[in-house]
Amino acid sequence: MSTALTVYIVAHSVVSDLNNAAGWDKALTRLRSAHADSVVLESYRGGMVVDEAVLRVARDRFNAEGFRTLGGLMPVWGEGFGKRGVGVETQMPFFCYSSEDTVSAIEREIRKLSRLFDQVVIDDAFMTSCRCADCEKARNGQNRGAFRRTLLTKVSERWVRAAHEEKPKVQLTVKFPQTYDRYHLYGYDPERFPAIFDKVWVGTETRNPNTPKFGYTEPYQGYFNSRWMRACAGDKFEGAWIDYIECDKQQFYDQAVTSHLGGATNLTLFCYGDALFTGTLVSRMTAGLPGLRKLSDAAIEPWGVHVIKPATSEGSGDLFIYDDFGMMGIPCVPATRLDKNMRSAIVPAQGMSDPNMGKAIADAIASGGQVIVTHAALAHATDAALLALFGYSPATAATARTIAHAFEVDGKKIELAKPFHVPGTLEPGPTTKTLAWVTCGTWDNLRIPFITVKEHPGGGKAIVWNLGTFGQDAYTIDESLCVPVKSELLTLPAPVIALLRNTALAPLGLAIDAPPRVATYLFAKHAVFVNYTAAPAEVRTTGLGLVPETLTSDRSDPSDKSDRSEFDGTILRLPAGSYAMMDSKPAR
């Protein structure tokens, strides 16, 4: 089913932009030009409350014009509304939810919206960093993240009851932020929230990956967020959400491409106003809507390498590493647990939050599967038997961050233009093979394993990747909760990235040769390749059974042949900032 488009209208715009005939005419023209199906009318944001009568008039007018209407609210503190959180853990104006003033004030908004609309969306600031005396007393020594998740779970249950008291069939919807590796710190609970709320949305607003304000976030994150949230929420997962902030038209379009591949049935554009509709952001996207809808229709039954992140998990030194896996060209299938029938799976540090992960890894390897762990995951493996599966002991898998100046792959030394940080030292046992080395320090003979593999009877493989990203200590008080530093993983030499990618793909009978930031998405009957770079790219594949005559692309037939996607049966040529989709018939 093709993805529907929704435009979010914030409280200030509801009051100011829709208060006269000219404003209404402009809004209707803009929404129709964007091919919007629905609008969200917001009742509260940052202290501003929209009167119920104003919302009712707007609802009725939009309904009469053929638009579906939803209600929304943004739970950020504003003067005279609830209690602002106390403490300097973050600078954002999040609420204190130990305060009855906060909970009851937002409940009144939810009741009001539930009377007016059939679906109500709570925007992505439903979190808390409060350390006031009331919160600390209630916490009573408990881990802050666990306390906050339980607190917000109780508040959620109260709000859902209130919504259903007003209208039994209303769908109270929670929108998760994009920051999946920080949910557990501030109260979002991907395990309990889906059981409480009627629907779940998630942020896919990856914006510009090269600016610090909203984080150095790779566009693949939108896909991971959507697919992982479905793994957490099941059929309650419904919506993805993109915005215009710090975007040029290509980056906004990239968000739409990735979100359509992510399997959401609704895509929300944030937010109505001149910033979104003046210029070419929306027109660039809407011009590509026919192709985007084909992507959405084809994006069923994703398959590839399973990447494991339990619903509530700490990433240690591997925060947001899933984004980099995807941008290395690994076709990822997010999962919350490791199953023994998975043929190839990657378990970073997040996966070790599952207390049963050691047994799950052993079962998968015994079943003939391949399990790849990062160094941080290996460092969390305190069980000697689990370490031994990978060819190590507590003494031979140390956490000792060092700097690599060169790689050695297939006996060839690859000098690095920039130093690469390696998270640990490894000394594998005699039956463990080293596929790639790094040269560290000032001594040429100081070689540390970068990729190791231990083979087991029955075909199972236990692989260690001596890499990582960053930890929670990379964040500063003025951050925006997104990715605070650029990952080094996508700066690795092409032969090293290719070795990582194809090591992960080997059990699936696949190999892919592509530059970094050219992503592969595999579905039941189709393969999609997206070039997120500003340069043309070539892709070669083995084992996918691509059908050349089925090629469709957003660059299928430009007047300039050099700007056209082409596949000759061996090489797929992708122009900068483009995608291509083909039927795929792999022998699997």
**What pairs with residue 425 in β-bridges?**
398
Distance CA 295, CA 1 (A): 10
Transcribe 266-296 into DSSP letters.
EEEEE--SHHHHSSSHHHHHHHTHHHHHHHH
Structure tokens at 516: 């970094």
- What secondary structure does DSSP assign to 461-528, as a single string? EEEEE------GGG--TT--SS--S--SGGGS-HHHHHHHHHHHHGGGT-EEE--TTEEEEE-SSEEE
Question: 503: which 2 tokens?
Answer: 């090591």
- Measured N-to-C along each axis, helices 249-261 and 220-233 cross at an angle, to the nearest 10 degrees, of 30
| pTM of the entire predicted model | 0.97
Taking alpha carbons only, the member of 512, 536, 527 closest to residue 330 is 512
| Same-domain pairing of 144 and 196 | yes
| 401 and 550 both lie in a single domain | no
Residue 174's domain comprises 4-298
Note whether 288 and 334 are same-domain residues: no
Last residue of a domain, one of 261, 280, 298: 298
Q: Assess whether 288 and 312 both reside in one domain.
A: no
Q: Structural domain tally of the chain?
A: 3
Are 317 and 470 contacting, i.e. CB atoms less than 8 angstroms apart? yes
The residue from 505, 536, 566 where one domain ends is: 505
Q: Is residue 277 part of a domain?
A: yes
Of the residues 298, 324, 343, the one at which a domain ends: 298
Same domain, yes or no, for 39 and 113?
yes
Q: What is the pLDDT of residue 558?
A: 66
Q: Enter the DSSP assignment of 84.
A: B
Distance between CA atoms of 120 and 69, rounded to whole angstroms? Answer: 10
Cis peptide before 271 (omega within 30 of 0): yes
Q: Answer yes or no: do 315 and 236 share one domain.
A: no
- Domain with residue 95: its CATH number is 3.20.20.80
Residues 459 and 533 in one domain: no
Residues 6+ away with beta carbon under 8 Å from 18: 9, 24, 27, 58, 61
Tokens read off for 67: 């638009």
Quick check: is 91 in a domain? yes
Residues 496 and 530 in one domain: no
Closest C-alpha to 177, from 150, 205, 211: 205
- Are 198 and 252 part of one and the same domain? yes
Beta strands in 287-380 (DSSP E): 305-308, 332-335, 344-347, 370-374
Decide if 520 is inside a domain.
Answer: no
For residue 327, being part of any structural domain is answered with yes
Q: Which residues of 214-224 are buried (b: 16+ CB within 10 A; e: fewer)?
A: bbbbbbbbbbb
Determine the pLDDT at residue 1: 61
Phi-psi region of 22 (alpha: psi -120 to 50; beta: other; left: phi over 0): alpha
Rounded distance between C-alpha atoms, residue 160 and residue 170, angstroms: 9
Contact of 493 with 408, CB cutoff 8 Å: no
Q: What is the residue whose two structure tokens read 């119920």?
A: 52
Is 516 inside a domain boundary?
no
The CATH number of the domain holding residue 336 is 3.40.50
- Encoding tokens for residue 69? 């209407």
* pLDDT value of residue 274: 97
Q: Are 183 and 153 spatial neighbours (Cβ–Cβ below 8 Å)? A: no
Please check whether residues 93 and 157 belong to one and the same domain.
Answer: yes
pLDDT tens, position by position, for the chain (588 residues)?
678 999 999 999 999 999 999 999 999 999 999 999 999 999 999 999 999 999 999 999 999 999 999 999 999 999 999 999 998 887 889 999 999 999 999 999 999 999 999 999 999 999 999 999 999 999 999 999 999 999 999 999 999 999 999 999 999 999 999 999 999 999 999 999 999 999 999 999 999 999 888 889 999 999 999 999 999 999 999 999 999 999 999 999 999 999 999 999 999 999 999 999 999 999 999 999 999 999 999 999 999 999 999 999 999 999 999 999 999 999 999 999 999 999 999 999 999 999 999 999 999 999 999 999 999 999 998 889 999 999 999 888 877 888 999 999 999 999 998 889 999 989 999 999 999 999 987 666 689 999 999 999 999 999 999 999 999 999 988 777 899 999 899 999 999 999 999 999 999 999 999 999 999 999 999 999 999 999 999 999 999 999 999 999 999 776 677 789 999 999 999 999 999 999 999 987
Is position 511 within any domain? no
Same domain flag for 499 and 544 = no
Q: Is 438 a member of any domain?
A: yes
515: in domain: no
CB contact at 8 A, 171 and 113: no
* 348 plus 409 within the same structural domain: yes
